[in-house]
Amino acid sequence: MSSIADALHRGPLRRVGAAAALVACGITAVPSGVWTSPGGSSIPSPPVVTSAVRAVATTASVPAGSVPPVSAAAAAAGLVDVRSVVPDAIIDLRYATTNNFTRTQLYPADARCLVHESMAPGLTAAAAALRPQGQALVFWDCYRPHDVQVKMFQVVPNPAWVARPGQYARSHEAGRSVDVTYANVSPQCPPQRQISGICLADMGTDFDDFSARAKAFATEGVSEAAQAGRKRLRDAMNYGGLSVYSGEWWHFDGPGAGVDRPILNAPVE
């Protein structure tokens, strides 16, 4: 939710060998291997996806060509529907419901998750990094109209948690930031963590939790499992060149998210 408040503290992960080329070509069942960070440290890559896991992970996929075109205003602003970029994305826009910190519905019920086209390669790569383990990106917020940002700041007038509306668009208002988590296959899952038949990862807090535990690298009051879940999400998003905002584990910025741009008037439906 917040505007860019910290520098890019972690570079994007890269796959050793030809895996990056496979992702660029749209091949999502990436071979086993090792991811390395620019500093040289490595982490094991996910195991190769099995047919059973693939079946569950793609049940929410949108058939190619079935995503309706965006509005003329959205297209003119360079916005695209995230489902055209990540077909198996799970869309759970909290601000299109009353299940958010304002307790009011801020978006139309049929709101779409729109992102600037510059985020497309990064989100494609991030989704590909999660998919081999039967995991899928869950989008809580994407492009956010300026008038909604104004309403949010009226409810929580604290720039540490809600970006102060200004004369320019950046971050969510420019369609260049997303609020995400991921869901995965789990035989046992608490009802409150189930979505679209699969289980939300344990991240230690819910979306829009205004506490110190929501910070991306928080450890106090955050279980080891939740810390591992947050790292898994960061690694996948970093793989796509998207950087986490240190104040919120769910907020990731794309290229140029901190640049001041003209305010958009594009609708979200």
The answer to whether 143 and 268 are in contact (CB under 8 A) is: yes
The answer to whether 254 and 122 are in contact (CB under 8 A) is: yes
| Phi and psi torsions of 23, nearest 5° | -60, -45
116 known ligand binder = no
Q: What is the enclosing helix (H) or strand (E) of 155?
A: helix 146-155
| Phi and psi torsions of 24, nearest 5° | -60, -30
| Phi and psi torsions of 153, nearest 5° | -70, -30
In DSSP terms, 261 is beta-bridged to 169
E strands along the chain, which residues? 14-15, 34-36, 42-44, 79-81, 90-91, 114-116, 136-141, 177-184, 194-195, 198-200, 243-245, 248-253
Closest CA to 196 of 55, 57, 74: 57
Q: What is the enclosing helix (H) or strand (E) of 238?
A: helix 224-239
179 known ligand binder = yes
Neighbours of 59 (CB within 10 A): 13
Q: Catalytic residue numbers?
A: 248
Q: Which amino acid is at 85?
A: V
Annotated binding-site members for Zn(2+): 172, 179, 251
Annotated binding-site members: 172, 179, 251
